[in-house]
Amino acid sequence: MADPATVRRALAAQRIETPSWAFGNSGTRFKVFAQAGVPRNPQEKIADAATVHRFTGVAPTVALHIPWDKVDDYAELGAYATSLGVRIGAINTNVFQDDDYKLGSVTNPDAGVRRKATDHLLEAIDIMDRTGSRDLKLWFSDGLNYPGQDDLRNRQDRLAAALRETYDRLGAEQRILLEYKLFEPAFYATDIPDWGTSYAHCVELGEKATVCIDTGHHAPGTNIEFIVAFLLRQGKLGAFDFNSRFYADDDLMAGAADPFQLFRIMYEIVRAGALDPAYGINFMLDQCHNIEAKIPAIIRSVLNIQEATAKALLVDRDALGRAQNDGDVLEANSVLMDAYNTDVRPLLAQVRADAGLDPDPVRAYRRSGHQEKIVADRVGGQQAGWGA
Amino acid sequence: MADPATVRRALAAQRIETPSWAFGNSGTRFKVFAQAGVPRNPQEKIADAATVHRFTGVAPTVALHIPWDKVDDYAELGAYATSLGVRIGAINTNVFQDDDYKLGSVTNPDAGVRRKATDHLLEAIDIMDRTGSRDLKLWFSDGLNYPGQDDLRNRQDRLAAALRETYDRLGAEQRILLEYKLFEPAFYATDIPDWGTSYAHCVELGEKATVCIDTGHHAPGTNIEFIVAFLLRQGKLGAFDFNSRFYADDDLMAGAADPFQLFRIMYEIVRAGALDPAYGINFMLDQCHNIEAKIPAIIRSVLNIQEATAKALLVDRDALGRAQNDGDVLEANSVLMDAYNTDVRPLLAQVRADAGLDPDPVRAYRRSGHQEKIVADRVGGQQAGWGA
Amino acid sequence: MADPATVRRALAAQRIETPSWAFGNSGTRFKVFAQAGVPRNPQEKIADAATVHRFTGVAPTVALHIPWDKVDDYAELGAYATSLGVRIGAINTNVFQDDDYKLGSVTNPDAGVRRKATDHLLEAIDIMDRTGSRDLKLWFSDGLNYPGQDDLRNRQDRLAAALRETYDRLGAEQRILLEYKLFEPAFYATDIPDWGTSYAHCVELGEKATVCIDTGHHAPGTNIEFIVAFLLRQGKLGAFDFNSRFYADDDLMAGAADPFQLFRIMYEIVRAGALDPAYGINFMLDQCHNIEAKIPAIIRSVLNIQEATAKALLVDRDALGRAQNDGDVLEANSVLMDAYNTDVRPLLAQVRADAGLDPDPVRAYRRSGHQEKIVADRVGGQQAGWGA
Amino acid sequence: MADPATVRRALAAQRIETPSWAFGNSGTRFKVFAQAGVPRNPQEKIADAATVHRFTGVAPTVALHIPWDKVDDYAELGAYATSLGVRIGAINTNVFQDDDYKLGSVTNPDAGVRRKATDHLLEAIDIMDRTGSRDLKLWFSDGLNYPGQDDLRNRQDRLAAALRETYDRLGAEQRILLEYKLFEPAFYATDIPDWGTSYAHCVELGEKATVCIDTGHHAPGTNIEFIVAFLLRQGKLGAFDFNSRFYADDDLMAGAADPFQLFRIMYEIVRAGALDPAYGINFMLDQCHNIEAKIPAIIRSVLNIQEATAKALLVDRDALGRAQNDGDVLEANSVLMDAYNTDVRPLLAQVRADAGLDPDPVRAYRRSGHQEKIVADRVGGQQAGWGA
């Protein structure tokens, strides 16, 4: 059985990065429902991330999205974050919202558009230099809606060229997190549709390029923990974008749709010794809280990941290994399920109490009056959303 | 073998309804790419529909979407349509774009929201009285993003009540087309997720309620032509929303993703004698041309449906029936494939020529200079999109 | 909060039916791995079912499969079951394993094959008369592998005729459980592919025909608890075939693939008051233990269903209803998850202790030496499998 | 437009390899329907393959499956094949049908089982030495049915070791074709579930290891032609196992389920210049004709691939490239569809006539009386199937 003190230490040391954009408005193509109290600028988004960290204690960094979080002075923004107890994390690029990108960004048949898109990626590294960020997250919406629309292979060549140029601009401590996604917004073919494509490009680029797994970006039936285990074995797992889904890229709260799957993913992380922040994986959230309040939804997501992690840490790995080696299918499954079926909320409450936190962050946030305060304060101005 | 003259007659008599909103801008949650020349009001949408009809000869009606196509005087709008050679078809309702509908419309836990939503449905029938429309198309985005968010069964009771009130308001010649959809914008549960749910409600409502099949609204692997055949047998197939998809509700041009599937669907229509407009099925398009030009995309979609229909009409049903009854799997499949593998473009060119149309509507439209004209003319104002 | 005594009473009263065939060998098309100790005749299968009941206390009935469990004297077989503390439950028919059924059974284009298949269904009712069974479970593997192979609609007519004849033969207390399945063994079209088809036939047949939900028979992404809630509302849910799946009809142990889904299903049962055996739903298992030991796998499946049920019973429905009516998405989800996250094993251990059972049936079975005993005893003869 | 003579030459030069096992009986876990006239030994399977080649002219090689096609003297078997006008192609291994392999072959936790499985792979290379085969096809059914059953990463290490040992045994002109498959017979995790896993292992192994794409082995919604294009770019596409599917690994006739997809796949082949046999791709069939006659089903499959290829060759690549570079979505799609919509049967009839073949191989086979002859001749003995 896992040593309780070790489990508590691991849970106390766990780190989850929140995304600035999840605090702003989001929605579907049918409607974006605006919510009272959402941030109106990067500073307010960072303040919200700091609020999540204040209540959970494990979310000390916040990812930015350029240009949505563009500011004149990133040093000042970083200092502001520090003043609130958090730091700026990964820099996310955006090459999907300009009219130029209708037929692609770095894979566009038009060389001028490719140049513009690549320049944006390079600019993001400039920003990283100023924010001290380690991670450049690249997601390309590039793809095709119709067979024949463009040449699949030419687009790979263009993609490789842009990645190479971007990679070569990275500083010694910087790295690329290369995301993949099955579909949306492209509906026939996506230029990086699966982990294999991302992996192959990362191998060609070099050791500073690693794969980012968004848990909502797979075909139905995909065994995500297998990909986690495989990429860990290859030394190419750089980050997660956590969220959950029932159908497509639903971007629901992590752990909301299939908590057992999240547990299995975290088990592979624990099994590989990759939970420790020193290992280098960036555990990020990437979610859309279309109908629920943003800050408590993110707190809940952090808690869901913590609970899955706690269960993963509780797996009796000696007993599991014995049963596996004995070929005892039922016993091996049972050992894993014993951990999953454990109610870890008391354990996490203890970990939080040890850290001087309220044992129930969701209730504590509700009681704090913070939501009412931001609703009252954040009046006027332009609410943040995917366009800003 | 099918009689050539009969086939040509059937093709000449085929009717496809175009949707006003497909001429406006559309996109994904990531970006709506605006296109030059899109309509700025219901009149210009109707003009675009009339253009499609002028080149294809089989699209004489255009569906409206309320409130996007709201006008003060529907009689005047109808007269305008008539002046362009088309008529107003189905009236589509919209109970998903007001802030009130964040947690549902007719299934909302709040009685006031339900009242408002139902009133909108009744108002749509008022409009039908004025436009002379037969069909009220009901699509509800209602559903849940999270387990527990609301009670699945209570929502069915609320849905049934709203449907009943709406049904009872229908005139003698009017009817409900009840759409279903697997997911989006709701991500955990949708209140009418499949044909079975729509069918069960329609049976309870009565003979003026029928199911509308949107070809993009199914789970992966669903055999759509089976649903077509089954609903025809039950007398409950009222309409199609044609489009095509690779993954989700991609809303691509009909026939673009799986032309063989479209052929199989049209074969079931032909086999049931349901192609004839007198049968009463409304064959509508419901598409989003996010990156391609709108009018030619709709012309292409009409052509794709015509080609699938022509192939379906060419099936040698005597030979097919013999092979089926003999249990000759390969021969039966072969008879069907013979029709599918036929190049029906010459046949359709002939049908068009007989009707005084250009045999190649896409090229004819390109040559006509019409696209350049609307791009030049439609400057200023507010482009139509899903919000208007 | 749910009253503890009520919860314990409900759990003590819960009933799950085991399938005789799950105790025999099974596998995939690639290989059936034989296991030592599996039954060699209906009596030994019933003995295994009785063993499951002895350790769990909630599985007092066993479903038979005809002809695999055909005997000369069903009264004698029933008496044997009674002597072991169990009873014969549903009668399952088999119209898929004779060479005649290659192209279908009741939907076969050949009238002679249809007659033979229907006669088998009638014979099963004869057997029910003798076993005192209430439930006739009908699963038809009928379908097509290739487009055009047979006429989809004709097959529905043939299906309806066979169902009608079978229905009319039912005794006053007997009923039909009509199963549906997306695919396999048919790969292009299945004649009853979804709940809607089964439902429509059941409505036409009458009140003694109800739908059976096999939890592994759906398209990817199908919300099964919605179907449960909907059929309960329509009064047409007759039974479950529980099992779990990651991809297709995997027939794994119930609760093994998605325990959260099983909980959501059981919640809809509890919410509708349908857990009580008096309500009339037959909660059956239908599984294939291809690589794990049969009896303990079935015990584990029973336990998994009990745990999901216990969690469903623990949902604070007052608090849930309040949050739902308030439109408090996060709170409503949280109330549901509180119950799901509870470790119900101690509660179930207590329920078992109260019933004079070992609190841990899996361990108790392991300790009992029963597995070793049947392995030693059941030597020679023909092991049971899907062919017998 | 493609030059007609070039197209005809390419079609005349195309080569498709047939699988010996497809001529034997096959089925689902529910039932294997035996067919009259199926082969009873490797020689008769080769004779059937020769028959397919005699009627189609493009299928001069036949893949063997060991141990199903085990013989004492492979030189003699090869000579027999040559005498019938065909040659022995790829050697397929089988490490899934012995009882030892219940929990895996090369990934089994038991070292003895792994040794046995690896020895079988090495033995297959011995056979290749004698048959002169170039290709060793490796498919591993290895995987897990339940979470926790075994350690995902340990299994990769074991897999890598066995692959390495096998690779090192290859002769200078021999190579590995490494297959992947989403699921079945394993239902929770498969050790090589996707192309990325196969690709990563092949890269590590070296240039003699390449990926084999079975068109039925993907998750729903997977864009297979993207994988084709990507692997061609990486120089790692070694072979196809063609078949078609609606749901899972249905193993239907190639081109039967989605002929448009097959065309898109063949277009990527043509576009990369990879159709020419000299390029080195092995275009194999891997199908199960469960309900239809074997030989004509395989002839039909060959024809379907030829038709898809012919259409791919007819694509006006200059026009396509222009439209793509212009960003003309509709025109580019239209150029592709023009080729797809062409009836290529007359063209292929001409190619066959030029080669001295009957222009309609299916009808020619029917007329030949060959089926009746093998039904009459092949009486007694043990019919071939997946077990032999």
Q: Which of C192, C186, C126, C184 is nearest to C158 (CA)?
A: C192
Are residues B28 and A29, on separate chains, in Cβ contact within 8 Å? Answer: yes
Residue D7 confidence (pLDDT) above 60 = yes
CB-based burial, D245-268: b 16+ in 10 Å, e otherwise: bbbbbbbbbbbbbbbbbbbbbbbb
What does the mean pLDDT of chain B come to? 97
User: Could you tell me which of A169, A168, A92, A89 has the C-alpha nearest to residue A134?
Assistant: A89
Q: Which chain B residues are within 8 Å of C248, Cβ to Cβ?
A: none
Token pair, residue C324, equals 């739902």
> Does A246 touch chain B if contact means CB atoms closer than 8 Å?
yes
Which residues in chain D are contacts of C96 at CB distance < 8 A?
A: 30-31
List the one residue out of C303, C309, C283, C219 whose CA is nearest residue C10. Answer: C309
Nearest residue in chain B measured CA to CA from D257: B260
Tens-place pLDDT, residues D331-349: 999 999 999 999 999 999 9
> Per-residue pLDDT tens for D176-208?
999 999 999 999 999 999 999 999 999 999 999
pLDDT of residue C1 exceeding 70: no
Instruction: Concatenate the DSSP letters of all residues of A93-150 into one string.
Output: P--SSSGGGGG-STT-SSHHHHHHHHHHHHHHHHHHHHHT--EEEE----EESSTTSS
Beta bridge partners of B214: B241
The pLDDT value recorded for residue D2 is 78
How would you write the pLDDT of chain A (388 residues) with one tens digit per residue? Answer: 678 899 999 999 999 999 999 999 999 999 999 999 999 999 999 999 999 999 999 999 999 999 999 999 999 999 999 999 999 999 999 999 999 999 999 999 999 999 999 999 999 999 999 999 999 999 999 999 999 999 999 999 999 999 999 999 999 999 999 999 999 999 999 999 999 999 999 999 999 999 999 999 999 999 999 999 999 999 999 999 999 999 999 999 999 999 999 999 999 999 999 999 999 999 999 999 999 999 999 999 999 999 999 999 999 999 999 999 999 999 999 999 999 999 999 999 999 999 999 999 999 999 999 999 999 999 999 999 986 5
Strands B31-32 and B87-92: unpaired
pLDDT of residue A386: 86
Neighbours of chain D (3+ CB pairs under 8 A): A, B, C
C293 near A CB under 8 A = yes
Indicate yes or no: CB of A102 within 8 angstroms of CB of B30: no
Which of D290, D291, D386 to mutate to probe the C interface, most C CBs <10 Å? D291
d(CA D48, CA D55): 11
Spatial CA neighbour of B230 closest among C101, C215, C195: C195
Cα C134 from Cα A195, distance rounded (Å): 52
Backbone angles phi, psi at A9, to 5 degrees: -60, -45
Cβ separation of D327 and A109 shorter than 8 Å? yes
| Structure tokens, C240 | 């479950």
Contact C268 B145 (CB under 8 A): no
Tell me what the pLDDT averaged over chain C comes to. Answer: 97
pLDDT in tens, C192-223: 999 999 999 999 999 999 999 999 999 999 99
Q: Measured between alpha carbons, how far apart are the two ends of chain B, in Å?
A: 49
Q: Are D160 and D201 in contact (CB under 8 A)?
A: yes
Collapsing DSSP to helix, strand or coil, D244 comes out as strand
In this predicted model, what pLDDT tens digit does every residue of C168-200 receive, in sequence order?
A: 999 999 999 999 999 999 999 999 999 999 999
Do the Cβ atoms of B221 and D223 come within 8 Å? no
CB D298 within 8 A of CB D18: yes
Convert the pLDDT of each residue in A22-45 to its tens digit.
Answer: 999 999 999 999 999 999 999 999
Q: How far is CA A278 from the centre of its chain?
A: 18
**pTM beyond 0.90, yes or no:** yes
What is the arithmetic mean of pLDDT over C136-151? 98
Cα of A337 to nearest chain B Cα, Å: 22
Does the domain at residues B15-292 carry the CATH identifier 3.20.20.150? yes
Q: Which of B383-387, C13-17, D377-381 has the lowest mean pLDDT?
A: B383-387
Which three-class secondary structure state does DSSP give residue D386?
A: coil
Residue B33 near chain D (CB below 8 Å): no
What is the Cα gyration radius of chain A?
Answer: 21
Please tell me the predicted confidence (pLDDT) of residue B3. 87
User: If DSSP states are collapsed to H, E and C, what string results for chain C?
Assistant: CCCHHHHHHHHHHCCCEEEHHHHCCCECCCCECCCCCCCCCHHHHHHHHHHHHHHHCCCCEEEEECCCCCCCCHHHHHHHHHHCCCEEEEEECCCCCCHHHHHCCCCCCCHHHHHHHHHHHHHHHHHHHHHCCCEEEECCCCEECCCCCCCHHHHHHHHHHHHHHHHHHCCCCCEEEEECCCCCCCCCEECCCCHHHHHHHHHHHCCCEEEEEECCCCCCCCCHHHHHHHHHHHCCEEEEEECECCCCCCCECCCCCCHHHHHHHHHHHHHCCCCCHHHCCEEEECCCCCCCCHHHHHHHHHHHHHHHHHHHHHCCHHHHHHHHHHCCHHHHHHHHHHHHCCCCHHHHHHHHHHCCCCCCHHHHHHHHCHHHHHHHHCCCCCCCCCCC
E strands, chain B, in order: 17-19, 27-28, 31-32, 61-65, 87-92, 135-138, 143-144, 175-179, 189-190, 209-214, 237-242, 282-285
Name chain C contacts of D99, Cβ cutoff 8 Å.
Answer: 33-34
Angle at D77 (CA atoms; ends D76, D80), nearest 5 degrees: 90
How confident is the model over C277-295, as a mean pLDDT? 97
C-alpha A225/C-alpha D190 separation (Å) is 12
The answer to ipTM > 0.95 is: yes
D157, closest residue in chain A (CA to CA): A233
Burial of A379 (0-12, 13-18, 19+ CB in 10 A): exposed
- Residue with the bigger pLDDT between D4 and C293: it is C293
How many CB atoms are located within 10 Å of the residue A5 CB? 8
Q: Mean pLDDT, consecutive 10-residue segments, chain B of 388 residues?
A: 89 98 96 96 98 98 97 97 98 96 98 98 98 98 98 98 98 98 98 98 98 98 98 98 97 98 98 97 98 98 98 98 98 98 98 98 97 96 85
Mean pLDDT check: name the lowest of A2-11, A158-167, C246-255, D10-19.
Answer: A2-11
Non-local CB neighbours of D76 within 8 Å, separated by 6+ positions: none
Is B246's CB within 8 Å of A101's CB? Answer: no
**Tens digit of pLDDT for each residue in D353-363?**
999 999 999 99
**H helical segments located in chain A:** 4-13, 42-56, 74-83, 111-131, 152-169, 195-205, 224-234, 259-271, 294-314, 317-326, 329-340, 345-354, 361-368, 370-377
pLDDT of B1 reads: 65
Burial of D369 (0-12, 13-18, 19+ CB in 10 A): exposed
**Mutation choice for C interface testing from D247, D253, D386 by most C CBs within 10 A:** D247
pLDDT at res. B346: 98
| pLDDT surpassing 80 at residue D388 | no
Instruction: Report yes or no: D286 at the A interface, CB cutoff 8 Å.
Output: no
Residues 6+ apart with CB under 8 A from D91: D63, D64, D66, D124, D125, D127, D128, D131, D133, D135, D136, D137
Contact D54, D370 (CB under 8 A): no
Residue type, position D235, single letter: G
Residues in chain D, overall count: 388
C-alpha–C-alpha distance, residues C209 and C192, integer Å: 14
Q: Is C65 left (phi over 0), alpha (psi -120 to 50) or beta?
A: beta
CA distance B16 to B32: 27
Residue D46 has pLDDT above 70, yes or no: yes
So what's the pLDDT on residue A388?
Answer: 56
For residue A192, give both structure tokens. Answer: 């990086």
Nearest CA in chain A to C308: A341
* Interchain CB contacts (distance < 8 Å): B and D: 48
